A and B are shown apart, each in its own frame.
Chain A
Amino acid sequence: DVKVTQSSRYLVKRTGEKVFLECVQDMDHENMFWYRQDPGLGLRLIYFSYDVKMKEKGDIPEGYSVSREKKERFSLILESASTNQTSMYLCASNRGGGGNTIYFGEGSWLTVV
């Protein structure tokens, strides 16, 4: 089975803190994604990466950055956390090419106070 692991399930951070959300997948997938999910807004893509050191902005990249130094690991960085970044963050991955669905991690619940 595909395994996407998000190391932190629940975090509480203060406004202005730098926050790192880590994600690891064990299926040698080329593509990795970070989404946030909010009630009434659904899943919104923040960033995705189709290869090591490659990244593309999604729909809502403002206030976020990402890092992909190794194929299996994709990190989401909040440079200066704000209260409007309180949300559930979901990491996902899939194999490159057409027709390959996305597998999600369990999610990271971030509260910024």
Chain B
Amino acid sequence: QKEVEQDPGPLSVPEGAIVSLNCTYSNSAFQYFMWYRQYSRKGPELLMYTYSSGNKEDGRFTAQVDKSSKYISLFIRDSQPSDSATYLCASKGAGAGSYQLTFGKGTKLSVIP
């Protein structure tokens, strides 16, 4: 079982819709959780970063982590065509030797005008 599972989509929504993107993870040692956005033929860019359980909001984006169920979510309110991209979730342990992130495979989102 891969440590971070993510539905690849594709997901297509009308402009203005609320988008919910989700991941599950299996490693209880993960403490840090990130969402990256990747436009076509570009490198991933960090979108949201959270530590442990809880919510974090940044403009139209909300990241949510539920460590009890090992569930990671990203919500996009009032979605825009410019939000069309692939979204990658990632998780990381907290130890000094935890160099790496474990990534989901990404969900491709299209927001239709």
**Interchain CB contact under 8 A, B44 and A41:** no
Contact of B46 among A31, A58, A88, A101 (CB under 8 A): A101
B residues at A contact (CB < 8 Å): 8, 31-32, 34, 36, 41-46, 49, 51, 88, 90, 92-96, 98-101, 103-106
**Interchain CB contact under 8 A, B100 and A48:** yes
Chain A residue contacts of B41, Cβ below 8 A? 88, 107, 109
Instruction: Give bound CA distance, A107 to B46, whole Å.
Output: 15
Chain A residue contacts of B103, Cβ below 8 A? 42-43
In the complex formed, the residue of A with least CB distance to B101 is A102
Give the number of residue pairs across the A-B interface with Cβ within 8 Å: 61
Decide yes or no: A98 and B43 within 8 Å by CB, A42-B105, A42-B106, A43-B103 being known contacts.
no
Decide yes or no: A105 and B43 within 8 Å by CB, A31-B99, A99-B51 being known contacts.
yes
Interface 1/0 per residue, A41-54 and B, CB below 8 Å: 11101001010000
In the complex formed, the residue of B with least CB distance to A41 is B105
Contact of B100 among A45, A88, A90, A97 (CB under 8 A): A45
Chain A residue contacts of B98, Cβ below 8 A? 98
In angstroms, how far is the closest chain B Cβ from the Cβ of A38? Answer: 10
Chain B residue contacts of A50, Cβ below 8 A? 99
5 A-B pairs besides A48-B100, A102-B101 with CB distance below 8 A are A43-B103, A99-B31, A99-B32, A101-B49, A109-B41
Q: Tell whether A22 is near chain B: CB-to-CB under 8 Å.
A: no
Sort A-B residue pairs by CB-CB distance and give the 7 closest, nearest first: A42-B105, A104-B43, A98-B94, A43-B103, A106-B43, A107-B43, A104-B44
Most interface-central of B42, B94, B95, B96 (chain A CB within 10 A): B42
**Interchain CB contact under 8 A, A98 and B104:** no
In angstroms, how far is the closest chain B Cβ from the Cβ of A4? Answer: 8
Chain A residue contacts of B96, Cβ below 8 A? 97-98
**Interchain CB contact under 8 A, A40 and B8:** yes
**Interchain CB contact under 8 A, A98 and B100:** no
Q: Tell whether A103 is near chain B: CB-to-CB under 8 Å.
A: yes
In angstroms, how far is the closest chain B Cβ from the Cβ of A22? Answer: 15
Contact of B42 among A4, A96, A106 (CB under 8 A): A106
